[in-house]
Chains A and B, each alone.
Chain A
Amino acid sequence: MIDRLCDQAGEKDVAVVGLYCDFLSQQEQSTTSMLGAILKQLVSRGEIPEHIRKAFQKAKKEFGGRGLRLPDIVEVMKRTITALPRVFICIDALDESTPKYRRELLESLREIVRVSTNTRLFLTGRPHVGDEIRKCFCKVVRIPVSPTRDDIRSYLEMRLDSDTDPDVMDDELRADIMRVIPEKIGEM
Chain B
Amino acid sequence: MAQMSSEHPQFTASIGSFNKNSFNNIVNFNTERELEGRQILQWLSPLEPQQRHQGVRINRFDGIGNWVLETNEFRKWSGAEDGCVSPVLFCDGNPGVGKTYLR
* A contacts, CB < 8 Å to B: 1-5, 8, 18-20, 22, 28-29, 32-37, 39-41, 43-44, 46, 48, 52-53, 56, 59, 65, 67-68, 73, 86, 88, 92-93, 113, 117-127, 129-130, 133, 137, 139-148, 150-151, 154-155, 158
Contact = CB atoms under 8 A, between A and B. Distances in A.
Contacts of A4: 69, 102-103
A134 to B, nearest CB: 8
B89 A18 contact: no
A54 B69 CA distance: 41
B93 to A, nearest CB: 4
A141 B89 contact: yes
A126 B68 CA distance: 16
Contacts of A139: 85-88
B37 A48 contact: yes
A151 B93 CA distance: 15
B8 interface: no
Contact of B61 (A124, A141, A150, A155): A155
Contacts of B98: 145, 147, 151
Given A118-B82, A123-B90, A137-B86, A37 B40 contact: no
Contact of A143 (B49, B53, B90): B90
23 contacts: A3-B57, A28-B46, A32-B45, A37-B48, A39-B45, A40-B45, A44-B1, A48-B40, A92-B99, A117-B82, A120-B88, A124-B92, A139-B87, A139-B88, A141-B73, A141-B76, A142-B89, A143-B89, A144-B91, A144-B92, A146-B93, A146-B97, A151-B65
